[in-house]
Structure 1
Amino acid sequence: MTPLRTIMTRDLVTASKDASLKEVAALMADNDIGNVLFMDGDKLVGILTDRDIVVRAVAFGRDSGSLAVDHATADPFSLDVETDITAAAAQMGERQIRRLPVTENGKVVGIVSLGDLSNRANGDADQTALEGISTPTL
């Protein structure tokens, strides 16, 4: 068993719930990342990805000054740091998510992306997740 803690990225970028789309996009650009987390204290309340900005905001002509959190996935799915990467990959595929917040004792301590699975995991975990994410839902 290889736990998520061994492949997760520990450097998390968070944004205020009153941050605009433009501010969050700039955070992503400045940090060379594809997601930003929204927190309420230690509780994860949302995640916004670069894809969300395009699909949920730009595609509908939303103003870049609008609240970024309004376009985020609320109460995102997460897994514990001790979860096996193969099980995590299966969950990511089933839920069609590309970024997975990782928790320890209920607190977000890292994030695992599809790229992390591909670059750092051994075995077929990345293929399992990719197949699930790439399969269209009906």
Structure 2
Amino acid sequence: MRVLDPVLFILRKKGSDVCSLSPDATVYSAMQMMADKDIGAVLVVDQDQLVGIVSERDYARKVILLGRGSKDTLVSEIMASPISISPDCSVDEAMRLMTTNRIRHLPVVCDGKILGIVSIGDLVNWIAFAQDQTIEQLEHYIEGKYPC
């Protein structure tokens, strides 16, 4: 891993376990999985291919507010089309995608294989970490403490 690949660094730090289910699963099972894992979104995978993503927001807007039943509604009926990134995507580009598309989760995909998922919180934490590192380096520079 290169230092220039923050998305891979984030995945290694948080782990690359991905919670997924099939398009024919019920919304109830998706919500149960999210509650059990304390996560806000789950990937929808069909024959090892990413086909969608379901979030708590999708549930609120496409099930609850429309008076539908979570045990009678399939994930395929409410899932959003996935917007994904490659592992070499910059944090700035990932943040731009999230902001532009008003989403909070980005699957990381390489050659059709799902490597993990990053959230907006993961990216904000990375930015804070990077800024702390820059500040520390500048302080060392100002104090004359150069690394050997």
TM-score by length of 2: 0.76
Take 1:14 and 1:2, find their aligned partners in 2: how far apart are those partners? 25
Take 2:78 and 2:103, find their aligned partners in 1: how far apart are those partners? 16
Cα deviation, residue 117, structure 1: 1.0
* Structure with a larger share of its residues in strand: 1
Aligned to 1:133: none
Q: Which consecutive residues of structure 2, in runs of 5 or more, have no partner in the other structure?
A: 132-148
Q: Does 1:6 align with 2:13?
A: no
Aligned to 1:93, what secondary structure does the other structure show?
helix
Asked if 1 retains the 8 angstrom alpha-carbon contact of 2:5 and 2:87, the reply is no
Cα deviation, residue 100, structure 1: 0.5
Aligned partner letter, 2:9: T
Q: Which has the larger radius of gyration?
A: 2
Aligned to 1:78: 84
Cα deviation, residue 2, structure 1: 4.0
RMSD between superposed Cα atoms in Å: 1.5
Percent of residue pairs identical: 37
Cα deviation, residue 101, structure 1: 0.7
Q: Which consecutive residues of structure 1, in runs of 5 or more, have no partner in the other structure?
A: 124-138
Aligned to 1:29: 35
- Residue 51 of structure 1: which of 35, 57, 65 is its match? 57
Take 1:3 and 1:120, find their aligned partners in 2: how far apart are those partners? 8
TM-score by length of 1: 0.81
Aligned to 1:130: none
Q: Alpha-carbon deviations, 1:56-108, whole Å to 9, x = none?
A: 1111011111112211103x111100111112112221222111111122211
Aligned to 2:61, what secondary structure does the other structure show?
helix
Take 2:42 and 2:93, find their aligned partners in 1: how far apart are those partners? 24
- Residue 105 of structure 1: which of 98, 103, 111 is its match? 111
Take 1:78 and 1:16, find their aligned partners in 2: how far apart are those partners? 18
Asked if 1 retains the 8 angstrom alpha-carbon contact of 2:52 and 2:80, the reply is yes
Q: Which of structures 1 and 2 has the larger relative contact order (alpha carbons within 8 angstroms, sep 6+)?
A: 1
Equivalent residue pairs, number = 122
Take 1:6 and 1:105, find their aligned partners in 2: how far apart are those partners? 19
Cα deviation, residue 19, structure 1: 1.2
Aligned to 1:60, what secondary structure does the other structure show?
coil
